[in-house]
Every structure is written in structure tokens, then in C-alpha cells.
Structure 1
Amino acid sequence: MLDACRVDTVKSSTDWPPAVSVVNEAGGSDVVLICEHASNHLPAEYGRLGVSEADLQRHIAWDIGAAEVTLGLSRALDAPAFLGTYSRLLVDLNRPFGVPSSMPARSEATDIPGNRELCPAERERRRRLMFQPFHDRIASFLDARAETERPTRIVTIHSYTPVFLGERRPWHAGILFERSEAFARQVIEGLAEDRSLLIGTNVPYGIDRAEDYAIPVHGTDRGHPAILVEIRHDLIADERGVAEWTERLRAVLA
């Protein structure tokens, strides 16, 4: 087991990339894309946090297909995009920092030994190196955009498991919102024009300030229309699925 109170050491740029990957920052779209769970990367010193390599390919470590859809939409819409570069197991960028689910000792039905009994110094390390730089970068971008009075719609891209703790989820996608109901309805109704799709409202989760971060903080609190897009990850697990959902979302967001 790793020392949960390790001290900082010299870090390589490949093992410790910047906390956020920014794509097409000067894009002309009013849509700003955020993908918090884009990566399953863990620096080597964390030793996979005690889980298996197979576990790192599961939803507990990242949102399968979400990064590819985000990058596709960035190109298709000419939209800026902000993608997380570390696994959600280290710190979940879409949780208020410090809540139990932000550094879970158990995710779904899987124990995460490397997150047990984290000392304050290790929690602070993850905040300083991963959580804060990601959100500070987005906040500074939105500040600069507001100064030029550019309109902004925030769209965060996520994926979810077809089955969660034995319960099957029937939707192909869900559109989640806090206060931006008009924006959400526009996207839901646009996607639902394809009668083969079951599109849910605030499923498989709802937006809750106690458990969500980007939509309340970067969207609602700044007065920007903001939605969270959840796509069932078996539908975007390959290039064909990514292309299909990128085009669907492009059509309703353009």
C-alpha cells in the first residue's frame, strides 16, 4: 500500500501532465465544452490505487467515450473544450471538493484501497495539483469571455453504465440541468426526433449542488445556460458510435 501522506517529488511531464487539456480555446461557437472524466490516467507513484488494470478501463476510473465525443464536438462546432487529464479515482472534478464521493474509498461495488483514510496533506495535494488548476483554468476563460460580452452556453459531456448495481438503465442518453430548462428541452426534443432513441430528463442522475460542480458553479452561478449530457457508454465505445453521437449533438447544439 502507498503512503497516503507522501511528499511531493520531481514529476515528469508525461506522468504528471497539466490538470486540464484545452482544445480550440479561440473557437467561435457560443458553446463551451467541459469533460471532467476524460482520462483514466494515474501517476505511477499511486500504484493504481490498489485496483486492477481491468478496473482502470471501467466506468469507475473515467467516462468511456466521453473524451472522443467532446473532441469531435469541438471540431464540429468550432467550440472551446476543457478536458480533465487524471482519473476520477484520484479526485472527481465534478464533485464539490472534499465530499465523500470526490475521492471515494468505494466506487460502485469496487473498493479503492488507495483512497482509504487519506490524510489532510494528501487531500490537499490532490486539490492543489488536479482539482483547483482544472477549475481555475475554466473560470479564467469564462471571466475573459464575459469581459467581451460573448454569449456562452456550457455543455458538459459524460457517459454512464448500462447497468448500475444490478439495475438496468433503459435510456440511450439523459440531459441534466439545474435551472436551464429551456436549453435542456431544446436539446431533448431535438434528440427525440429520432424515434429510435429514448432520451431522459435528469436521468440517470439529477443535478445536486451537494454532488455536482460544473453546472452549478460555472453555469448557474455565472448566469450561463448549462446542461450535462449523459450518454450510455456502450453506445460510444467505438469510432462509429462516437461519430453518430457527435453528429446528433452537433445538430441540436449548432
Structure 2
Amino acid sequence: MAVGPLLSSGDPEPVEILNRSGPSPFLLIVDHAGKHVPARLNGLDLAPSEFDRHIACDIGARDLALSLSAVLDATLVMQRYSRLVIDCNRDPSRVDAIPALSDGTLISANARLSAEDRAHRIHAIHAPYHQAITGILDERTDRETVLVALHSFTPVLAGEHRPWHVGILHADGIPDYARRLLSVLRLNPDMIIGDNEPYHMDETDFTVPFHAWARNLPYAEIEIRQDLLTAERRDHIVAWMARALCDALNSGTTGQF
């Protein structure tokens, strides 16, 4: 572990890369996979229970990604630190890349950061994660690649229930693959599939625009409701999602789930 102003020798590396040589065209990425906090930040002065909430990480997304990577034989890149330390799906220049408030929780340790403190977080966590994705994409320029960003969302936010089971986010660049995936998933009558729900892909999103749009890569940003990613339900979701990803890639829709 490289020691610097933020990370110490006991802290994990910010990026986890699995199956780098996987033959699948899918490159799976998880911006909010982990909930680690650098030791020097003293847990951001939050109660430990806050890190079991959706504000700290995308609950269930890491296990989902590990299973999908295995089923698809796909390369997987994940970020290990909590989004409360720095959100790797935000432009690092944005104020909300290091949130001072998240779903009613005040993160006082983030409220009055100096420019130097922000730079340390960007340098130690945000930059290495995106450099890792860039490096893998550079290695794959001679092969088909579909960038798939995996996220999860809380069933209730600010008291509002969210009916969607899965959302597919897309905007500029080459959104054709995301739209085909949306169509395939909607063949399942038991699932409510959101088109740019529960979030729109907009200026707050960083990872997909930065990597996929810039390279004219097909992509999809997938949001799965967290209550579908429990240990009891995850295997079914993984099998369904893997089939849908492949059907959308092949432009074939069997309709069987």
C-alpha cells in the first residue's frame, strides 16, 4: 500500500480489479462498492451504523458484481472506499463529490474541508479508480467492449417509496445498447423497469460519460433496488441480468426468464 497524506499502510488499495483477462465483452464497474474510510479520517466522525446505510455505499452491488463477473467471465473494477469519503461517480471538482449532507445525515467532517484536504482525497481514491478503468480500456482497444456500471438504490428515499425494481440510465454517447437492454428487461412482466429512473443520467454522473462517451463505447448504467440483492434473491437476479445483458448484446430477445 502506497502511503501518502491520506492513506496509511493499514488502509486498503482504493481499486479492486478481478478477472482482468476475462474474455467477455462486458467491462463491469462499481463506483460505490465499498465502505472503507481511511484510518486518518476517524470514521468521518459518524456513528458506525451510518455505514450500514445506502448513504455509505451501494448496498448489495459488490456481491452482485462478483457473481455477474463469474457468470459472464467478465473483467470487474470496483472502488473500495465509501462514497462519503469521495463519490467516484462525480466530477471531483463538484462540491457534492465530497458530501456534507446525505439523506438527512450531516457529515460534519466533510463540511469545511480545505482545498488541500479535497485534493488528497481526489489523489488517493478518485484518480486511481478512474486511472484503473482507463488502463483497462486502453488494453481493450482491439476488442469489443461494453461498459456496464452497476449501482443499487434504496427502496425508500426521503419517505418516498420507489416502485422500480431496476432502472436503466442512459443519455448521450452511444445509448443504443442501454435502450436494447431496457427493452429486454421489460419482457419480464413481474418487474417494473425504469427508463432513466429512479435517476436521470445527467451532469451529476461522471463515470459513464468520462469513459464511455469519450471513447464512443456502448454502455449501460444499471440501478437495482437493494431489497432484490439480498442473499436469498440475488442468484435469481444475477441469472436474469446476465441473460438480459447477453440478449441485448446479441439483439436477440427470447422473452424467457
Q: Could you state the TM-score of these two structures normalised by the residue count of structure 1? A: 0.92
Three-state SS of the structure 1 residue aligned to 2:32 is coil
Three-state SS of the structure 2 residue aligned to 1:97 is coil
Three-state SS of the structure 1 residue aligned to 2:242 is helix
**Percent identical residues:** 36
- Which deviations, in whole Å up to 9, do the C-alpha atoms of 1:126-179 show, x marking residues without a partner? 011100011011101111211xx2011000000011111111111001000123
Q: Is 1:250 aligned with 2:242?
A: yes
How many residues are paired up? 242
Which residue type is aligned with residue 205 of structure 1?
Y
Q: 2:221 aligns with which of 223, 228, 235?
A: 228
Give the structure 1 partner of residue 5 of structure 2: 8
Give the structure 2 partner of residue 100 of structure 1: 95
- Which deviations, in whole Å up to 9, do the C-alpha atoms of 1:96-155 show, x marking residues without a partner? 002122100001111001101101111110011100011011101111211xx2011000
**Alpha-carbon shift at residue 69 of structure 1 (Å):** 0.7
Give the structure 1 partner of residue 46 of structure 2: 51
CA RMSD of aligned residues (A): 1.4
Contact 1:174 1:203 survives alignment (8 Å): yes
Distance in structure 2 (CA, Å) of the matches to 1:100 and 1:160:
22
- 4+ long deviations beyond 4 Å: none
For structure 1, the 5+ residue unaligned runs are 1-6
Which protein has greater RCO, CA pairs closer than 8 Å, 6+ apart? 1
- Which deviations, in whole Å up to 9, do the C-alpha atoms of 1:171-222 show, x marking residues without a partner? 00100012343212221222222211000100111111x3111110111111
Which residue type is aligned with residue 98 of structure 1?
S
Distance in structure 2 (CA, Å) of the matches to 1:169 and 1:100:
27
Contact 2:7 2:38 survives alignment (8 Å): no
Q: Is 1:204 aligned with 2:201?
A: no
Distance in structure 1 (CA, Å) of the matches to 2:100 and 2:16:
27
Q: 1:34 aligns with which of 11, 23, 29?
A: 29
Three-state SS of the structure 1 residue aligned to 2:119 is helix
Alignment of 1:118-129 (within 5 A): 118-129=113-124
Distance in structure 1 (CA, Å) of the matches to 2:55 and 2:169:
20
Q: Could you state the TM-score of these two structures normalised by the residue count of structure 2? A: 0.91
